Amino acid sequence: MKRILCIGNRWQPGDDAGPRVHDRLSAGLLPADVELIDGGLCGLDLARFFAGAERVVVVDSAAGFDPDRELIVLAPEQARQAAPHSYDHGAGLGYLLQALPCLLEDVLPEIYIVAVQGRPSAATIARAAEVARELADHGRSGTPALCALEGQR
């Protein structure tokens, strides 16, 4: 199973990219083996969505990675490095990724993070949705939306 896990707070501008991408993807077609999940603000409870998955694409709002780009794809290591060293309400995705090896008995899935920075336009949300869908379906194997994203600066 492949999953797209959209996280964030739909009522907080700047933290609503995940829910907005979820809304866009739920209105269209996804491959049969891709499950779309609205993870909201569930924190460590999201670990269960990584269990037994082949690939998980996380869509979330982010800040501080590349100020020149609204949309980037992060490796789990990049998100882990940005995590705080202790857990509290604001620990976020980085802390979850740090904790996953301790929480799961399974082998970790292939993980990608589609990070949307700032207050994204509708066009950026549409691009994020397409990149998330392609990553979930194919991984990093040269999908058009991902290639276009990585080629732009």
Question: What integer pLDDT is reported at residue 153 of this predicted model?
Answer: 45
In the chain, the domains with their CATH numbers are 2-151 (3.40.50.1450)
For residue 38, which amino acid is it? D
The pTM assigned to this predicted structure is 0.89
**Per-residue DSSP letters for 45-77?**
GGGGGTTT-SEEEEEEEE-SS-TT-SEEEE-HH
Q: Are 73 and 114 in contact (CB under 8 A)?
A: yes
The pLDDT score that the predictor gives to residue 105 is 84
Mean pLDDT per block of 10 residues along the chain (153 residues) reads 95 93 94 94 90 96 85 86 59 82 87 93 95 92 70 55
Pairing, β 110-117 against β 71-74? antiparallel
Residue 77 pLDDT: 85
User: How does strand 110-117 pair with strand 55-62?
Assistant: parallel
